[in-house]
Amino acid sequence: MKKAIKIILGISFIFYIFILIVILFMKPRGYVYDKSFIEYIRHSINIIPFKTIGTYVKAIFNGNMNMDIPIKNLGGNLVLFLPMGIYLPFLVKRVNSLKLYSFFMVSLLFGVEAVQLITRRGIFDIDDFILNMLGALIGFAIWKTKFVQKLLNQEELER
């Protein structure tokens, strides 16, 4: 039974990674090539924490924006890396501690933001990083719950 679960999770992890790549790097960005690379970078970096999040939260309360936009951006970034908190520690046993998992995720997320900026597929937004990391930590917290761990221990006993 454990082997079947590992195979199912492995296959679904590959599918999840494919979806992540499409969402993060394959979306069209409009006329980003009209600007020089330096000009693009200058206008595509947000290193002020909670600037974008604050804008969306204010828009939600003021009704200044279609509700779909802030919900998709805030909720989407939060949920996007949540599955990683379950997949990664299950598939890579060395990443089962919060310290190693956090280090891995910080590195991965900064890499994603940098690649999006360099390839002009997105901006380097610290708020995306914050929301993605929070989602990843929520996923890891779910992984560490007694319910999930008990479920896994039962699988171990059935082997």
pLDDT along the chain (159 residues), means of 10: 82 97 85 81 94 94 90 96 95 93 98 94 95 98 92 58
pLDDT at 129: 98
pLDDT at 31: 67
Q: How far apart are CA 6 and CA 90, in angstroms?
A: 8
Alpha helix ranges (H) inside the chain? 2-25, 37-43, 51-62, 68-80, 84-91, 98-118, 126-143, 146-158
pLDDT at 1: 59
pLDDT at 77: 97
Q: Which two tokens stand for residue 43?
A: 């206008």
pLDDT at 159: 45
The answer to whether the beta carbons of residues 144 and 97 sit under 8 Å apart is no
**Spatial CA neighbour of 124 closest among 111, 105, 137:** 111
pLDDT at 58: 93
Q: Which two tokens stand for residue 103?
A: 């280090």
With 0.85 as the threshold, say if the pTM is over it: yes
Q: What residues form DSSP beta bridges with 88?
A: none
